[in-house]
Chain A
Amino acid sequence: MTQAAEANPYAPQVARLSRVIDETPTIKTFCFDLEQPMEFRAGQFVQLGVPGLGEAPFTPSSSPLEPGHLEVTVLRTGGVTERLHRMGEGDVCTLRGPYGKGYPVEKLEGKDVVVVGGGVGLAPLRALIHVLLSMTDRLNKVVIKNGARESAELLFRRQYDEWAAHDKVSFEMTIDAPEPGWAGHVGVVTTVLEDLPNEVNVPNSYAFSCGPEIMLRFVTFALLEKGFQPEQIYLSMNRRMSCGIGKCGRCNIGPYYLCKDGPDMCYAQIKDYPNVF
């Protein structure tokens, strides 16, 4: 980014797509090889846009350990994402960021880490998983649970075996609507949390979840029921983050602006405010 653009926080850099990966019928991953690497923490987000149309907030799904190569995984669900999905290699996007706090990775030394994804929610969590996999020697255990509506919508399926192959890492997936021949687990993602107290040492754990709001709500209730304290639960909250820098006002939960204080919020911080879920 030029220095002038850096001094203007509303001005994005122009970035050319190096590759577009079809992930599921509704999700694509947009890849950028950036001239100037974008250093970010797992969980921080960027504003990715279509020139002249507008931008939307996404947490990168690529590894923060490779800041020169940025991947953003996008569900087709609105005006900007519709147009993004029609773009291909060589097309130009707008990009600014990173914004927000990111996951509190420094708290995880010696801990059991539970990662719960739902649908496209696994995208931001993949950035976290990359970081967790790079520091397994300092973690006690990583338990990944992923759910999707149907098997075709299971995101990053090509990487599940690779993740599960790591020492200290376990992976489990489930789908709501199985097709004939599906041999895996069936049910919403909370159904694979039932056995959690036997998989992790709950008082020594942190849980991170990202997915649709309704899923976050039930995952939170399930975790609380399994003995997690609100302080141990981090949720990727969904609000309309526009400016990204805590000025435009629209992404608040209580006194917190998700773009500045989140978008991953500790449940203890937000639980007493109305309209959280």
Chain B
Amino acid sequence: MSKMLFLSEDGLVRLLEAVKASEVYAAVRRERGPEYCHLQKVPEAELALREPRPSSSLKAFLQPAKERVAVYTNEGFDVEASRLVCEDRALVGLRACDLVAIAYLDKVFREGDFKDPFYEARRESELLVSVDCVAVHENCFCTAVGGRPFAESGFDLNITPLESGYLVEVGTERGREVVDRVADAAAEPTDEQLAERNAARQKSIDQVEKQTRGLRVTDKVQELLLAKQGTDELSEMAARCVECAACTFICPTCHCFHLYDQVGGEENFERIRTWDSCILGGYSRMAGPAGAKPTPRPSLRSRCANRLLHKYAFSPQQYGMLGCTGCGRCIEACCGEIDIREVLRELIGDTSG
């Protein structure tokens, strides 16, 4: 069987039913628009495969907003209660930018001297089914940060919606196993269908490029950001920031967390981790008297600048990739109407927008 298959509308339903996972997270249609949701099985709800990317990121399914990471009883460390048992999971309907975010989070949590066993357990058994963006959200700017509105790697299966039916690309052996279960529903794609795929992809690129208006985050931009750090120029967005931290919570690559202990019962305790945000004032506050300057970034301006620097200048040094996927979710989330594309444009000195 070839790497590329054609499936009819019914064939795709059968394919997704063949995804045998005990937990499914999928992009589904909701009244307010597409959302990533937890499903018992596919297709429990109508999948959002032809809509723009969901407004939330899938981060919560990889790193929950709140999670217990260690439990201590009177006998000491409770190995069983502190372990995450993860059965087969499937993420369905991921956009290309979400795959980029997973690649980034993989570098944070699965690489280096210490691996995160909770993230690792979730990712180990995960089937990734991505879908081309045939519709583009008005805030999308993936092409400005080196991305494209469709995935070319990083998936087990990738779906391209056509006018009629779907093309499915097999990325891995794990994806192949799913496709094999519905081999009778699959056909070799015709030249017309392949041409339609290329045309649809180009159309999406054109759409993103049109709304990106030539913005490009290049190495030069990184140098510029580093050169301007500490200047007021870098922190101008702070004037409109209301410190709600929505941008960091909605961001698919933001991963900062807070660890704290709480008493769970008599003579025992548990350790919890929750999402945290570098925008919040208490984020890096240390113990000590106020006069000893226990907060390294006491001003909102310095925190806004740090976030910008981490996304576009520090991440490439730390992980070899930008900390921004160009999904534009932070633009919708921001109460202060900060548009990261405009922030970057102003820094670069591009006033054409």
Contact = CB atoms under 8 A, between A and B. Distances in A.
A239 B296 CA distance: 7
Contacts of B276: 248-250
Contacts of A13: 77
B260 A250 contact: no
Contacts of B113: 245-246, 260
B49 interface: no
Count chain B CB atoms within 10 A of each CB in A8, A51, A55 and give the residue with the most: A8
Interface in A6-21: 7-14
Which applies to chain B's interface (DSSP): helix, strand, loop or mixed? mixed
B292 A212 contact: yes
Contacts of A25: none
Interface in B275-330: 276, 278, 283-289, 292-293, 296-297, 302, 305-306, 309-310, 313-315, 317-318
A94 B82 CA distance: 16
B317 A255 contact: yes
B76 A14 contact: yes
Contacts of A8: 69-70, 82-83, 117
A159 interface: no
A183 interface: no
Contacts of B256: 248-250
Contact of B260 (A54, A78, A246): A54
Contacts of A253: 296
Contact of B269 (A52, A80, A214, A274): A52
A77 B287 contact: yes
Interface of A: 2, 4-5, 7-14, 49, 51-56, 77-81, 94, 212-214, 238-240, 242-243, 245-255, 260, 273-275
Given A2-B79, A10-B271, A249-B257, A239 B284 contact: yes
A242 B283 CA distance: 11
Contacts of B263: 52
12 contacts: A11-B271, A49-B261, A77-B287, A213-B293, A246-B112, A249-B257, A250-B276, A252-B310, A255-B315, A273-B229, A275-B230, A275-B302
B259 A248 contact: yes
A5 B314 CA distance: 31
B116 A51 contact: no
Contacts of B201: none
B259 A242 contact: yes
A4 B259 contact: no
A56 B287 contact: yes
B108 interface: yes
Contacts of A260: 112-113
A11 B293 contact: no
A275 B258 contact: no
B287 to A, nearest CB: 3
Contacts, number: 127
A212 B288 CA distance: 10
8 pairs of A and B residues whose beta carbons are closest in the complex: A78-B287, A249-B256, A274-B230, A52-B269, A245-B114, A255-B314, A11-B70, A4-B79
A273 B287 CA distance: 23
Nearest to B265: A52
B70 A80 contact: no
Contacts of A12: 70
A274 B276 CA distance: 22
A14 B76 CA distance: 7
Nearest to B318: A255
Given A9-B115, A214-B292, A214-B293, 5 more contacts: A77-B287, A80-B287, A242-B258, A243-B257, A247-B108
A114 to B, nearest CB: 24
A56 B305 CA distance: 27
B72 interface: yes
Contacts of B264: 52
Contacts of A54: 260-261
B109 interface: yes
B152 to A, nearest CB: 28
A248 B257 contact: yes
A79 B287 contact: yes
B51 to A, nearest CB: 32
Contacts of B255: 247, 249
Nearest to A51: B269
A270 to B, nearest CB: 12
B216 interface: no
A247 B257 contact: yes
Nearest to A96: B70
A221 B268 CA distance: 48
Contacts of A251: 284
Contact of B77 (A4, A246, A250, A275): A4
Contacts of A49: 261
A181 to B, nearest CB: 29
Contacts of B114: 9, 245-247
Nearest to A14: B76
Contacts of A245: 112-114
A268 B276 CA distance: 30
